[in-house]
């Protein structure tokens, strides 16, 4: 959409090419999921477009960004460098891309771990990130893609279940928020 072009031009410079491609995938997928559930489509697209805006900075740059904006970094985010781009992304979306909508900033902040009791935009972005067309490695992708348009909570439950299993198999530290999110959503999971 024309209104997103200035942001797209900026992101094209801030991100590497595969990440920019992924970002467009998430933008369109978030728009589609929003349509299916009667949510504000441009708002979901904008959140999708910006969700990984801090992904291609260094860990040090992300730490500095948090510090300068008085945002606390957890021990888990210090230890697991894959996590901080979500929180840093929300800060960057606000100060660098002039986003004032708190729902969009929140959806960006929680897009990696999820959290208990997410609002509709949070779920749309979390799910779009996992199922966008460029993703091909996740287990149960066909099921999760179908659920995205039918039942957001069941979809969340399945993605969190598969993500926890993946993280466990990798043997890395699992962020407490990811576990809490799964505990919240697991009751919605449909047996596969
Ligand atoms: O930024 P993307 O690659 O598009 O996707 P994302 O924001 O979901 O980040 C995925 C990465 O985050 C992946 O490397 C796994 C990691 N991750 C997600 N939850 C946890 C986690 N890593 C740790 N250590 N603990 C978690 O709970
Ligand atoms: Fe991300
Ligand atoms: Fe992403």
Domain count, the chain: 1
pTM for this structure?
Answer: 0.97
Residue 185 belongs to a domain: no
Query: Which atom of ligand 1 is nearest to 26's Cα?
Result: 4
Q: How many C-beta atoms surround the C-beta of residue 145 within 10 A?
A: 18
Assign residue 55 the CATH number of its domain: 1.10.3210.10
Q: Output the tens digit of pLDDT for each of the chain's 192 residues.
A: 899 999 999 999 999 999 999 999 999 999 999 999 999 999 999 999 999 999 999 999 999 999 999 999 999 999 999 999 999 999 999 999 999 999 999 999 999 999 999 999 999 999 999 999 999 999 999 999 999 999 999 999 999 999 999 999 999 899 999 999 999 999 999 876
Asked if 18 contacts 55 with a C-beta cutoff of 8 angstroms, the reply is: no
CA of residue 121 to ligand 2 center, whole Å: 15
Give the range of the structural domain holding residue 41, as residue numbers without chain letter.
Answer: 2-137
Residue 51 belongs to a domain: yes
Query: Locate tokens 């149960």: which residue?
Result: 140
Residue 180 belongs to a domain: no
Residue 128 belongs to a domain: yes
**How far apart are alpha carbons 48 and 28 in whole angstroms?**
8
Q: Please, what's the b/e burial string for 126-143 (b: 16 or more CB within 10 A of its CB; e: otherwise)?
A: bbbbbbbeebeebeeeee
CA of residue 84 to ligand 3 center, whole Å: 13
Residue 38 belongs to a domain: yes
Considering every ligand atom shown, identify the ligand nearest to the alpha carbon of residue 137 and give its number: 1
């Amino acid at each position: 959409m024309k209104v997103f072009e200035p942001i797209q031009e900026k992101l094209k410079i801030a991100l590497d090419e595969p990440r920019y491609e992924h970002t467009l995938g998430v933008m369109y997928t978030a728009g589609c999921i929003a349509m299916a559930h009667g949510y504000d489509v441009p708002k979901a697209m904008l959140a999708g477009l910006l969700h990984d805006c801090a992904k291609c900075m260094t860990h040090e740059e992300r730490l500095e960004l948090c510090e300068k904006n008085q945002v606390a970094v957890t021990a888990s985010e210090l230890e697991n460098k894959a996590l901080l781009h979500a929180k840093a992304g929300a800060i960057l979306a606000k100060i660098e891309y002039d986003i004032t909508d708190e729902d969009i900033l929140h959806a960006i902040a929680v897009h990696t771990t999820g959290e208990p009791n997410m609002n509709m935009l949070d779920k749309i972005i979390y799910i779009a990130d996992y199922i966008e067309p460029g993703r091909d490695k996740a287990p149960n992708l066909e099921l999760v893609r179908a659920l995205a348009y039918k039942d957001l909570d069941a979809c969340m439950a399945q993605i969190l279940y598969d993500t926890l299993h993946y993280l466990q198999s990798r043997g890395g530290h699992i962020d407490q928020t990811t576990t809490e999110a799964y505990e919240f959503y697991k009751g919605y999971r449909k047996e596969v």
